[in-house]
Amino acid sequence: MKKLVFAFIMIAGMASLQAQTVEEMKADQATKKASIAKLQGEVNAIQGKIDALPGWKKGAFGTIGGSLSGFNNWYSKGAANSSAGNIGFTVNGFANLMQEKYFWRNSANVNLAWIKLDNTDITTDSADFEGATDVFGITSLFGYKLTKTLAASTLAEYRTTIIENFNNPGYLDAGLGATWTPITDLVVVIHPLNYNYIFSDGGSDYESSMGAKIVADYTRKIGKVAFKTNLSAFQSYKENDYSNWTWTNSFGYTLWKGIGLGFDFGLRNNKQEAVNYANKDITVEADKIDFTNVDNKLQSYWMFGLNYGF
Protein backbone atom coordinates (compact mmCIF):
# COMPACT_ATOMS: atom_id res chain seq x y z
CA MET A 1 0.00 0.00 0.00
CA LYS A 2 2.85 2.38 0.89
CA LYS A 3 4.47 1.65 -2.48
CA LEU A 4 1.20 2.47 -4.26
CA VAL A 5 0.84 5.77 -2.40
CA PHE A 6 4.46 6.63 -3.13
CA ALA A 7 4.03 5.87 -6.85
CA PHE A 8 0.87 8.03 -6.95
CA ILE A 9 2.70 10.93 -5.29
CA MET A 10 5.58 10.60 -7.77
CA ILE A 11 3.22 10.59 -10.77
CA ALA A 12 1.29 13.59 -9.44
CA GLY A 13 4.53 15.43 -8.78
CA MET A 14 5.84 14.74 -12.29
CA ALA A 15 2.53 15.88 -13.84
CA SER A 16 2.63 19.06 -11.79
CA LEU A 17 6.26 19.66 -12.78
CA GLN A 18 5.47 19.07 -16.46
CA ALA A 19 2.48 21.46 -16.34
CA GLN A 20 4.64 24.06 -14.68
CA THR A 21 7.35 23.56 -17.29
CA VAL A 22 4.84 23.96 -20.16
CA GLU A 23 3.47 27.18 -18.64
CA GLU A 24 6.98 28.50 -18.18
CA MET A 25 7.86 27.70 -21.80
CA LYS A 26 4.69 29.40 -23.06
CA ALA A 27 5.46 32.48 -20.98
CA ASP A 28 9.03 32.50 -22.30
CA GLN A 29 7.72 32.09 -25.86
CA ALA A 30 5.34 35.05 -25.47
CA THR A 31 8.18 37.22 -24.16
CA LYS A 32 10.40 36.32 -27.10
CA LYS A 33 7.58 36.96 -29.60
CA ALA A 34 7.09 40.42 -28.12
CA SER A 35 10.83 41.04 -28.44
CA ILE A 36 10.79 39.87 -32.07
CA ALA A 37 7.87 42.19 -32.88
CA LYS A 38 9.71 45.11 -31.31
CA LEU A 39 12.90 44.31 -33.23
CA GLN A 40 10.95 43.92 -36.48
CA GLY A 41 9.48 47.38 -35.97
CA GLU A 42 12.98 48.78 -35.49
CA VAL A 43 14.20 46.93 -38.60
CA ASN A 44 11.31 48.36 -40.65
CA ALA A 45 12.12 51.87 -39.41
CA ILE A 46 15.78 51.46 -40.42
CA GLN A 47 14.73 50.10 -43.81
CA GLY A 48 12.56 53.17 -44.30
CA LYS A 49 15.56 55.41 -43.67
CA ILE A 50 17.64 53.33 -46.11
CA ASP A 51 14.93 53.63 -48.77
CA ALA A 52 14.91 57.40 -48.33
CA LEU A 53 18.67 57.69 -49.02
CA PRO A 54 19.80 58.98 -52.45
CA GLY A 55 20.78 56.48 -55.13
CA TRP A 56 19.30 53.60 -57.09
CA LYS A 57 16.70 51.30 -55.52
CA LYS A 58 15.96 48.09 -57.44
CA GLY A 59 13.77 45.09 -56.81
CA ALA A 60 11.40 42.51 -58.30
CA PHE A 61 9.05 39.72 -57.34
CA GLY A 62 6.83 37.40 -59.35
CA THR A 63 4.39 34.51 -59.43
CA ILE A 64 4.48 31.19 -61.30
CA GLY A 65 1.42 28.99 -61.60
CA GLY A 66 0.60 25.90 -63.63
CA SER A 67 -0.97 22.48 -63.87
CA LEU A 68 -1.10 19.52 -66.29
CA SER A 69 -3.64 16.69 -66.53
CA GLY A 70 -4.44 13.76 -68.82
CA PHE A 71 -7.41 11.38 -69.22
CA ASN A 72 -7.63 8.03 -71.01
CA ASN A 73 -10.99 6.26 -71.33
CA TRP A 74 -12.40 8.35 -68.46
CA TYR A 75 -15.99 7.76 -69.54
CA SER A 76 -17.71 9.94 -66.93
CA LYS A 77 -15.96 12.93 -68.51
CA GLY A 78 -17.38 14.55 -71.66
CA ALA A 79 -14.03 14.20 -73.45
CA ALA A 80 -12.97 10.74 -72.26
CA ASN A 81 -9.55 10.98 -73.91
CA SER A 82 -8.02 14.39 -73.44
CA SER A 83 -5.19 16.38 -71.95
CA ALA A 84 -5.24 19.83 -70.40
CA GLY A 85 -2.78 22.26 -68.98
CA ASN A 86 -2.18 25.83 -68.02
CA ILE A 87 0.91 27.76 -67.12
CA GLY A 88 1.50 31.40 -66.34
CA PHE A 89 3.81 33.84 -64.63
CA THR A 90 3.99 37.46 -63.54
CA VAL A 91 6.98 39.70 -62.92
CA ASN A 92 6.89 43.07 -61.18
CA GLY A 93 10.16 44.99 -61.24
CA PHE A 94 11.32 48.50 -60.47
CA ALA A 95 14.46 50.61 -60.70
CA ASN A 96 14.21 54.00 -59.00
CA LEU A 97 16.85 56.73 -58.83
CA MET A 98 16.27 59.01 -55.84
CA GLN A 99 18.24 62.25 -55.50
CA GLU A 100 17.89 65.33 -53.34
CA LYS A 101 16.40 67.53 -56.09
CA TYR A 102 14.87 64.97 -58.47
CA PHE A 103 13.77 61.36 -58.95
CA TRP A 104 13.47 58.92 -61.82
CA ARG A 105 11.08 56.01 -61.23
CA ASN A 106 10.90 53.07 -63.65
CA SER A 107 8.69 50.01 -63.37
CA ALA A 108 7.57 47.04 -65.45
CA ASN A 109 4.67 44.62 -65.13
CA VAL A 110 4.46 41.39 -67.14
CA ASN A 111 1.63 38.86 -66.74
CA LEU A 112 1.49 36.01 -69.27
CA ALA A 113 -0.43 32.74 -69.24
CA TRP A 114 -1.13 29.89 -71.67
CA ILE A 115 -3.84 27.22 -71.62
CA LYS A 116 -4.44 23.97 -73.54
CA LEU A 117 -7.43 21.63 -73.84
CA ASP A 118 -6.87 18.83 -76.35
CA ASN A 119 -9.58 16.26 -77.03
CA THR A 120 -7.64 13.46 -78.71
CA ASP A 121 -10.84 11.83 -80.05
CA ILE A 122 -11.34 14.68 -82.52
CA THR A 123 -9.02 16.52 -84.91
CA THR A 124 -10.75 19.89 -85.07
CA ASP A 125 -9.42 21.31 -81.82
CA SER A 126 -5.91 22.56 -81.16
CA ALA A 127 -3.29 20.58 -79.27
CA ASP A 128 -1.20 23.67 -78.68
CA PHE A 129 -1.02 26.01 -75.72
CA GLU A 130 -3.02 29.14 -76.51
CA GLY A 131 -2.50 32.56 -74.99
CA ALA A 132 -4.83 33.33 -72.08
CA THR A 133 -3.63 36.21 -69.89
CA ASP A 134 -1.53 38.74 -71.77
CA VAL A 135 -0.45 41.92 -69.97
CA PHE A 136 2.69 44.00 -70.53
CA GLY A 137 3.40 47.51 -69.30
CA ILE A 138 6.39 49.75 -68.62
CA THR A 139 6.41 53.17 -66.98
CA SER A 140 9.05 55.88 -66.65
CA LEU A 141 8.42 58.89 -64.42
CA PHE A 142 10.82 61.81 -63.97
CA GLY A 143 10.20 64.51 -61.40
CA TYR A 144 11.90 67.68 -60.21
CA LYS A 145 11.13 68.29 -56.54
CA LEU A 146 9.37 71.54 -55.67
CA THR A 147 8.79 70.51 -52.06
CA LYS A 148 9.47 67.38 -50.03
CA THR A 149 6.29 65.69 -51.32
CA LEU A 150 5.44 67.59 -54.52
CA ALA A 151 7.30 67.59 -57.85
CA ALA A 152 6.84 68.82 -61.40
CA SER A 153 6.94 65.67 -63.51
CA THR A 154 6.80 64.06 -66.92
CA LEU A 155 5.53 60.53 -67.54
CA ALA A 156 5.86 58.00 -70.35
CA GLU A 157 3.77 54.83 -70.10
CA TYR A 158 3.48 52.03 -72.67
CA ARG A 159 1.21 49.01 -72.44
CA THR A 160 0.24 46.28 -74.90
CA THR A 161 0.00 42.49 -75.31
CA ILE A 162 2.89 40.17 -76.24
CA ILE A 163 1.56 36.66 -76.96
CA GLU A 164 -1.04 37.82 -79.48
CA ASN A 165 -1.54 41.11 -81.33
CA PHE A 166 1.69 42.76 -80.19
CA ASN A 167 1.26 46.54 -80.39
CA ASN A 168 -2.25 46.07 -81.82
CA PRO A 169 -3.40 47.85 -79.84
CA GLY A 170 -0.49 49.47 -78.07
CA TYR A 171 -0.99 52.49 -75.83
CA LEU A 172 1.63 55.19 -75.33
CA ASP A 173 0.89 57.95 -72.83
CA ALA A 174 3.18 60.98 -72.60
CA GLY A 175 2.44 64.03 -70.53
CA LEU A 176 3.33 66.75 -68.05
CA GLY A 177 1.98 67.66 -64.65
CA ALA A 178 2.68 67.01 -61.00
CA THR A 179 3.60 64.04 -58.80
CA TRP A 180 2.69 63.73 -55.12
CA THR A 181 4.66 61.37 -52.85
CA PRO A 182 3.16 61.72 -49.35
CA ILE A 183 5.00 58.60 -48.10
CA THR A 184 7.96 56.58 -49.37
CA ASP A 185 5.97 53.81 -51.09
CA LEU A 186 3.04 55.78 -52.53
CA VAL A 187 3.27 57.70 -55.82
CA VAL A 188 0.33 59.70 -57.19
CA VAL A 189 0.69 61.24 -60.67
CA ILE A 190 -1.71 63.90 -61.97
CA HIS A 191 -0.96 65.10 -65.50
CA PRO A 192 -3.62 67.39 -67.00
CA LEU A 193 -1.57 67.67 -70.19
CA ASN A 194 -1.27 64.17 -71.67
CA TYR A 195 -1.51 62.60 -75.12
CA ASN A 196 -2.80 59.05 -75.41
CA TYR A 197 -1.40 57.64 -78.66
CA ILE A 198 -2.80 54.29 -79.83
CA PHE A 199 -0.96 51.97 -82.23
CA SER A 200 -3.53 49.84 -84.04
CA ASP A 201 -4.67 48.16 -87.25
CA GLY A 202 -8.27 48.50 -86.09
CA GLY A 203 -9.01 51.64 -88.09
CA SER A 204 -11.75 53.82 -86.68
CA ASP A 205 -12.25 51.54 -83.65
CA TYR A 206 -9.27 53.25 -82.04
CA GLU A 207 -8.65 56.98 -81.74
CA SER A 208 -5.72 58.83 -80.15
CA SER A 209 -6.58 61.95 -78.15
CA MET A 210 -5.49 64.54 -75.62
CA GLY A 211 -6.61 64.17 -72.03
CA ALA A 212 -5.68 63.90 -68.37
CA LYS A 213 -3.56 61.06 -66.95
CA ILE A 214 -3.86 59.84 -63.37
CA VAL A 215 -1.62 57.11 -61.92
CA ALA A 216 -1.53 55.83 -58.34
CA ASP A 217 1.07 53.21 -57.38
CA TYR A 218 1.78 51.64 -53.98
CA THR A 219 4.59 49.08 -53.74
CA ARG A 220 5.87 47.73 -50.44
CA LYS A 221 7.45 44.78 -48.68
CA ILE A 222 6.66 44.11 -45.02
CA GLY A 223 8.49 41.12 -43.62
CA LYS A 224 7.45 38.11 -45.68
CA VAL A 225 4.71 39.97 -47.55
CA ALA A 226 5.33 41.88 -50.81
CA PHE A 227 2.55 43.64 -52.67
CA LYS A 228 1.97 46.13 -55.45
CA THR A 229 -1.19 47.89 -56.55
CA ASN A 230 -1.32 50.21 -59.56
CA LEU A 231 -4.17 52.25 -61.02
CA SER A 232 -3.60 53.91 -64.41
CA ALA A 233 -6.44 56.01 -65.83
CA PHE A 234 -6.83 58.25 -68.89
CA GLN A 235 -9.68 60.74 -69.26
CA SER A 236 -10.01 61.93 -72.85
CA TYR A 237 -10.84 65.59 -73.52
CA LYS A 238 -12.10 64.71 -77.02
CA GLU A 239 -14.66 62.02 -76.23
CA ASN A 240 -15.49 60.08 -73.05
CA ASP A 241 -15.65 56.85 -75.11
CA TYR A 242 -11.89 57.19 -75.65
CA SER A 243 -11.18 57.11 -71.89
CA ASN A 244 -9.85 53.98 -70.19
CA TRP A 245 -8.44 52.66 -66.92
CA THR A 246 -6.50 49.59 -65.72
CA TRP A 247 -6.04 48.43 -62.12
CA THR A 248 -3.48 45.66 -61.42
CA ASN A 249 -2.57 44.00 -58.11
CA SER A 250 0.15 41.54 -57.07
CA PHE A 251 0.63 39.88 -53.68
CA GLY A 252 3.42 37.55 -52.57
CA TYR A 253 4.02 35.71 -49.30
CA THR A 254 7.42 34.10 -48.71
CA LEU A 255 7.39 30.67 -47.07
CA TRP A 256 10.97 29.44 -47.49
CA LYS A 257 14.14 30.90 -49.06
CA GLY A 258 12.32 33.33 -51.31
CA ILE A 259 9.68 30.79 -52.39
CA GLY A 260 6.10 31.36 -51.38
CA LEU A 261 2.56 31.91 -52.62
CA GLY A 262 1.48 34.58 -55.05
CA PHE A 263 -1.86 36.02 -56.15
CA ASP A 264 -2.45 38.47 -59.00
CA PHE A 265 -5.61 40.05 -60.31
CA GLY A 266 -6.49 42.94 -62.57
CA LEU A 267 -9.47 44.94 -63.83
CA ARG A 268 -9.81 47.08 -66.94
CA ASN A 269 -12.43 49.23 -68.64
CA ASN A 270 -11.76 50.20 -72.26
CA LYS A 271 -14.67 50.91 -74.60
CA GLN A 272 -12.47 51.12 -77.70
CA GLU A 273 -11.22 47.57 -77.08
CA ALA A 274 -14.82 46.38 -76.56
CA VAL A 275 -15.90 47.84 -79.93
CA ASN A 276 -12.93 46.34 -81.74
CA TYR A 277 -13.53 42.91 -80.16
CA ALA A 278 -17.25 42.99 -81.01
CA ASN A 279 -16.46 43.72 -84.68
CA LYS A 280 -13.61 41.25 -85.20
CA ASP A 281 -15.80 38.66 -87.02
CA ILE A 282 -18.27 41.08 -88.64
CA THR A 283 -17.61 41.78 -92.32
CA VAL A 284 -20.83 43.58 -93.25
CA GLU A 285 -20.49 47.31 -92.59
CA ALA A 286 -24.17 47.74 -91.71
CA ASP A 287 -23.94 45.11 -88.95
CA LYS A 288 -20.94 46.61 -87.19
CA ILE A 289 -21.09 47.60 -83.52
CA ASP A 290 -20.26 51.14 -82.44
CA PHE A 291 -19.90 53.08 -79.18
CA THR A 292 -23.67 53.53 -78.85
CA ASN A 293 -24.59 49.83 -78.72
CA VAL A 294 -21.46 47.96 -77.63
CA ASP A 295 -21.68 45.75 -74.53
CA ASN A 296 -18.67 47.18 -72.68
CA LYS A 297 -18.17 44.57 -69.96
CA LEU A 298 -15.60 44.94 -67.20
CA GLN A 299 -12.42 43.07 -68.13
CA SER A 300 -10.63 41.00 -65.48
CA TYR A 301 -7.97 38.36 -64.88
CA TRP A 302 -6.51 36.52 -61.88
CA MET A 303 -3.77 33.99 -61.18
CA PHE A 304 -2.71 32.04 -58.09
CA GLY A 305 0.48 30.01 -57.78
CA LEU A 306 4.01 29.76 -56.46
CA ASN A 307 5.84 33.01 -55.83
CA TYR A 308 9.53 33.84 -55.93
CA GLY A 309 10.94 37.14 -54.68
CA PHE A 310 14.40 38.39 -55.62
pLDDT in tens, 218-255: 988 888 888 889 999 999 999 999 999 999 998 888 88
* Structure confidence by residue, pLDDT tens digits, 163-221: 877 888 889 999 999 999 998 889 999 999 999 998 887 555 688 999 999 999 998 88
Three-state SS at 282? coil
The pLDDT score that the predictor gives to residue 7 is: 56
Do residue 144 and residue 173 come from a single domain? yes
The pLDDT score that the predictor gives to residue 181 is: 92
The pLDDT score that the predictor gives to residue 205 is: 66
The pLDDT score that the predictor gives to residue 302 is: 83
The pLDDT score that the predictor gives to residue 51 is: 64
Find the distance separating the first CA and the last CA of the chain, reported in whole Å: 69
- Cis preceding linkage at 169, omega within 30: yes
Q: Which residue has the higher pLDDT, 284 or 222?
A: 222
Do residue 4 and residue 65 come from a single domain? no
Do residue 220 and residue 278 come from a single domain? yes
Percent of the chain at pLDDT > 90 equals 29
The pLDDT score that the predictor gives to residue 155 is: 95
* Structure confidence by residue, pLDDT tens digits, 3-24: 555 555 556 555 555 555 767 7
Cβ neighbours for 258, distance < 8 A, ≥ 6 positions apart: 308, 309, 310
* Structure confidence by residue, pLDDT tens digits, 108-128: 988 888 887 777 777 777 767
* 243 in Cβ contact with 211 (< 8 Å): yes
Looking at the predicted structure, is the pLDDT value of residue 38 above 80?
Answer: no
Do residue 267 and residue 166 come from a single domain? yes
Q: Which of 53, 68, 95 is the last residue of a domain?
A: 53
Please, which residues bridge with residue 176 across strands? Answer: 154, 193
- The CA distance from 269 to 245, in Å, is 6
User: Ranked by mean pLDDT, which of 47-51, 64-68, 157-161 comes out on top?
Assistant: 157-161
The pLDDT score that the predictor gives to residue 204 is: 58
The pLDDT score that the predictor gives to residue 13 is: 56
The pLDDT score that the predictor gives to residue 78 is: 64
Domain that holds residue 79: 55-309
Average pLDDT, the chain: 82
**AA identity, residue 7:** A
- Of 54-63, 67-76, 227-236, 290-299, give the lowest mean pLDDT range: 67-76
Dihedral sign computed on CA atoms, order 48, 49, 53, 56: negative
Which residue in 246, 219, 211 sits closest to 231, CA to CA?
246
The pLDDT score that the predictor gives to residue 114 is: 84
- Give the pLDDT band (50/70/90) at residue 60: confident
Do residue 174 and residue 279 come from a single domain? yes
The pLDDT score that the predictor gives to residue 89 is: 81
* 22 in Cβ contact with 61 (< 8 Å): no
Do residue 190 and residue 261 come from a single domain? yes
* 150 in Cβ contact with 179 (< 8 Å): yes
The pLDDT score that the predictor gives to residue 2 is: 56
The string over 164-180, giving b where at least 16 C-beta atoms fall within 10 Å of a residue's C-beta and e elsewhere, is ebebebbbbbbbebebb
Do residue 17 and residue 62 come from a single domain? no
Say which CATH number the domain at 300 has: 2.40.230
Average pLDDT over residues 254-282: 85
Looking at the predicted structure, is the pLDDT value of residue 74 above 70?
Answer: no
Looking at the predicted structure, is the pLDDT value of residue 41 above 90?
Answer: no
Q: Which residue has the higher pLDDT, 218 or 285?
A: 218
Do residue 69 and residue 22 come from a single domain? no
Q: Which of 53, 75, 92 is the last residue of a domain?
A: 53
**Structural domains counted in the chain:** 2
Q: Which residue has the higher pLDDT, 288 or 270?
A: 270
Do residue 44 and residue 151 come from a single domain? no
Do residue 283 and residue 217 come from a single domain? yes
N residues, the chain: 310
Report the predicted TM-score, pTM, of the whole model to 2 decimal places.
0.73
Do residue 127 and residue 48 come from a single domain? no
Looking at the predicted structure, is the pLDDT value of residue 55 above 60?
Answer: yes
Do residue 31 and residue 166 come from a single domain? no
The pLDDT score that the predictor gives to residue 139 is: 93
- The CA distance from 237 to 241, in Å, is 10
Please, which residues bridge with residue 142 across strands? Answer: 104, 154
The pLDDT score that the predictor gives to residue 202 is: 59
